[in-house]
Amino acid sequence: MMDVSEVRDMTDAQILVRIGEIREELFRLRLRGGMMQLENPRLPRQMRQEIARMRTVIRERELQTETG
C-alpha cells in the first residue's frame, strides 16, 4: 500500500494508470474470492482505500488549479 506522500509525488497520469491497475487486480480478486477463500480478506478493502486516496489527491489538485 502506498502512503499519501508517495501518491503526491506521482503525476496525474501515473496516478490514473495505477488506479486502473488496482481496479483490474480488485476485479481478479473478486473472481477468485467467489470461487475460494482469500488469503487476506482485508485486501479488497485496502485496495479500495488506496484508490480513494489517489482520487482524493487528484481532486485536491483540480481544486488548487480552479482557485489559483
Full-prediction pTM beyond 0.85?
yes
Identify the CATH number of the domain defined by range 4-67: 1.10.287
Q: What is the pLDDT of residue 40?
A: 87
**Cα 67 from Cα 64, distance rounded (Å):** 5
Residue 5 C-alpha from the chain's centroid = 14
Q: What is the pLDDT of residues 21-63, one digit of tens each?
A: 999 999 999 888 777 888 888 999 999 999 999 999 999 999 9
